[in-house]
Amino acid sequence: MFQTVTRRAGDFWKALVGLNTKYFIARKLLNFFKFWTVQNLGFDTAEAYLKFLDYIASWVGTGVLFGAFSAKVQMSTYPKGGILHLANWVSFVVDTALPCFLMFLFACIYLLSRQSVRLELAIGPKLFPDGRVPTDWGGVKNRVIAFFSVIAFLILYVALILFADNIKIASLIMLIIACNDWRTRYLIETGIKRYFSDDYYAPHPGDKDYDVIEERRVVAKEFLFDKPHLCKESGRVAGCGIAFAVSIVGYVNGTDRLNVFAYVILIATLIANEFFSVRWRSGMYWNLKAIDDKKG
């Protein structure tokens, strides 16, 4: 009896996350979501599923991050009336300038990461001939894992907002994220190299838009393999690690004076990393757009 109930509960969960949309409730939920968002998102392919997750992470995630910041302001200014008074927002920002700037930076990084996902999902299918786009494009091997990965990523950024005034915890969390991003970048590069080296996925003379796809691939390869992404990510890991180490040294020696240096190191590291990321990504985007405009 218990095994039967457990199995049915598992089947229902799979329906909710999109692994099996034949269930009536799952279909209704999906249809309502499409109606409410006016987005034709589905779970039929890895690309569609990732777009669904990105939509949720972008809109819900932004609201959650703002909610975390509001909770931070409320807890700090509760004796003076909390978030219902504009003066409390201003005083909170003024009194905690570095942590607030770090919170703002964390929110920007989160939003830029979502933009990166959208860009790669939009560009990816254009690098392959019609009908020969990899079915697992985007790296989705297990959709449940992908779902919880997105949730875990959001939770980490909520934690960053909540602990931005504790540089030891904030720099440690950012160090963990930086290490994971280094690993993700490595896996992306190796995975895409595998697709690009597979003759089945390569454009052949006679394929529709053969020349255009080849031009797009040149631009994509330049972005993916010629830019020092891993070096950049290694620099971010090092910067976050140094900021964490400086904060710990200050803590061990019983002084908060080093916290300012830790904040500056962490902020400078994150800004430098995002500067190069956005610059390289925007360069790829405009080069690809020029190819598409020439085609059109």
Q: With helix as H, strand as E and coil as C, how does the chain read?
A: CHHHHHHHHHHHHHHHCCCCCCCHHHHHHHHHHHHHHCCCCCCCCHHHHHHHHHHHHHHHHHHHHHHHHHHHHHHHHHHHCHHHCHHHHHHHHHHCHHHHHHHHHHHHHHHHHHHHHHHHHHHHHHHCCCCCCCCCCCCCCCHHHHHHHHHHHHHHHHHHHHCCCCHHHHHHHHHHHHHHHHHHHHHHHHHHHHHHHCHHHCCCCCCCCHHHHHHHHHHHHHHHHHCCHHHHHHHHHHHHHHHHHHHHHHHHCCCCHHHHHHHHHHHHHHHHHHHHHHHHHHHHHHHHHHHHHHHC
pLDDT number for residue 151: 86
Domain that holds residue 100: 41-295
Q: Is residue 36 part of a domain?
A: no
- Predicted confidence at residue 293, as pLDDT, reads 86
Domain presence at residue 201: yes
State which residues of the chain have pLDDT below 50: 1-6, 9-10, 12-13, 15-16, 19-22
Tell me how many domains the chain contains: 1
Q: Is residue 61 part of a domain?
A: yes
Q: In this structure, is residue 258 part of a structural domain?
A: yes
Question: Does residue 246 lie in a domain region?
Answer: yes
pLDDT value at residue 264 = 95
In a domain, 211, yes or no: yes
Residue-level pLDDT at 263: 95
Q: pLDDT at position 75, please?
A: 86
**What pLDDT is attached to residue 12?**
47
The whole-model pTM stands at 0.78
Asked if residue 18 belongs to a domain, the reply is no
Check residue 39 and give its pLDDT: 55
Can you give the pLDDT at residue 1?
A: 47
Evaluate whether residue 88 is within a structural domain.
yes
